[in-house]
């Protein structure tokens, strides 16, 4: 793995102290079946130096503001989180960017906060959970938000949440349900015409789009039968999404993603800190082994032009980083099929 920090990580999370405290007050100690990990800006930079990441675009993961039933409280939390991100980016210029948190499913309050974050605070885009208190992206009543985001040519980072149904015993939501949640949102965004009516919005689907690349033709045939549209047009809408590689650049998944996605629409993602550092190293090694041009940086620079003029930071020389990289490369090779 390269030690030069040139990657742009579009899927990295932060857990500000104010957010952790409110989650604890609500009795929430995990997300997606995984305990809330430790987070600090210093730990984030350490992980970035290890993976060769120059800039990480941060986002708040599930449950976002959705654990608050009072809409005014949810909107206030979104504002506080976005103000926190603004200050953090100012303290570490060039190393961090951020996607704004929106208080969905309140589309009106989310529209107002999106305008503030994008127009005033300088957010790189917005985060939207695939479902918010059981309401999926693409459902009725969200047109006001889509128009505002389309007018601004906004980048929308779609992250899964827990399914609006009980979890299945022994299947943690992050392991499988998250992929279905993203797929459901993508399906509705295409089926209900959001992608086609608002072409200036650039949607990034987490974790290689869940099941979207693998099931795209099956879903396209279904949508075409229901709506009377051409299956090719439906497939074209699915291919309009961008996809990150978080936990997905394996020798099994990556070829399918690359065969489906439009050129330039695959972006690097780590999912740190919810994905522990060894997992990030494993999948980053898979991406490096595939040697896919553009995924580490160029595709992100096209999506976020401000990154193009940023100097690449000089990483600290740490012997333990070199040792960790070497061990991770060996571990990746050993677990591939045919080595047993």
The β-bridge partners of 135 are 132
Tokens standing for residue 153: 């040519």
Residue-by-residue pLDDT tens, the chain, 340 positions: 444 559 999 999 999 999 999 999 999 999 999 999 999 999 999 999 999 999 999 999 999 999 999 999 999 999 999 999 999 999 998 999 999 999 999 999 999 999 999 999 999 999 999 999 999 999 999 999 999 999 999 999 999 999 999 989 999 999 999 999 999 999 999 999 999 999 999 999 999 999 999 999 999 999 999 999 999 999 999 999 999 999 999 999 999 999 999 999 999 999 999 999 999 999 999 998 888 989 999 999 999 999 987 766 666 656 556 546 555 554 555 456 665 5
What is the C-alpha separation between 54 and 41, in angstroms, rounded?
Answer: 14
Tokens standing for residue 288: 């490096």
What is the C-alpha separation between 143 and 160, in angstroms, rounded?
Answer: 21
b/e code 301-329 from CB counts within 10 Å (16+ = b): bebbeebeeeeebebeeeeebeebbeebb
Tokens standing for residue 98: 């951020």
Q: What pLDDT score was predicted for residue 313?
A: 67
Q: What pLDDT score was predicted for residue 309?
A: 76
Give the contacts of 157 (CB within 8 A, at least 6 positions apart).
10, 11, 57, 59, 99, 125, 126, 127, 128, 204, 206
Report the half-sphere exposure of 15 (CA within 13 A, side-chain side): 23
Distance (Å) of CA 50 to CA 12, 99, 250, 315, 325: 14, 23, 19, 9, 8
Residue with tokens 């209900």: 192
How crowded is residue 27: how many other Cβ atoms within 10 Å of its Cβ? Answer: 7
Q: What pLDDT score was predicted for residue 310?
A: 72
DSSP 70: S
Q: Do you know the residue count of the chain?
A: 340
């Amino acid at each position: 793995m390269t030690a030069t920090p040139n990657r742009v990580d579009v899927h990295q999370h932060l857990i500000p102290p104010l957010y952790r405290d409110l989650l604890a007050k609500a009795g929430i100690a995990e997300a997606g079946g995984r305990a809330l990990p430790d987070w600090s800006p210093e730990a984030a930079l350490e992980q970035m130096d290890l993976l060769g990441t120059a800039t990480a675009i941060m986002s708040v993961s599930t449950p976002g503001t959705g654990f608050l039933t009072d809409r005014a409280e949810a909107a206030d939390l979104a504002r506080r989180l976005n103000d926190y991100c603004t200050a953090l980016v100012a303290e570490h210029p060039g190393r961090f960017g951020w996607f704004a948190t929106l208080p969905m499913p309140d589309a009106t309050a989310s529209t107002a906060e999106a305008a503030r974050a994008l127009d005033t605070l300088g957010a790189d885009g917005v985060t939207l959970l695939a479902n918010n208190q059981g309401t999926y992206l693409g459902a009725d009543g969200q047109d006001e938000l889509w128009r505002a985001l389309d007018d601004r040519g906004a980048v929308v980072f779609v992250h899964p949440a827990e399914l609006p149904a009980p979890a299945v015993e022994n299947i943690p939501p992050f392991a499988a349900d998250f992929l279905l949640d993203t797929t459901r949102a993508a399906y509705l965004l295409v089926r209900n015409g959001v992608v086609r009516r608002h072409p200036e919005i650039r949607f990034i689907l987490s974790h290689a789009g869940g099941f979207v690349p693998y099931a795209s033709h099956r879903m396209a045939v279904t949508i075409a039968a229901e709506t009377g549209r051409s299956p090719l047009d439906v497939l074209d809408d699915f291919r309009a999404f961008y996809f990150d590689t978080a936990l997905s650049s394996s020798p099994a998944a990556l070829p399918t993603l690359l065969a489906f996605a439009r050129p330039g629409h695959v972006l690097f993602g780590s999912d740190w800190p919810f994905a522990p550092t060894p997992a990030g190293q494993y999948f980053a090694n898979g991406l490096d082994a595939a040697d896919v041009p553009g995924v580490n940086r160029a595709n992100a620079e096209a999506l976020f032009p401000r990154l193009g003029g940023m100097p690449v930071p000089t990483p600290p020389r740490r012997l333990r980083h070199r040792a960790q990289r070497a061990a991770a490369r060996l571990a990746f090779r050993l677990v591939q099929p045919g080595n047993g």
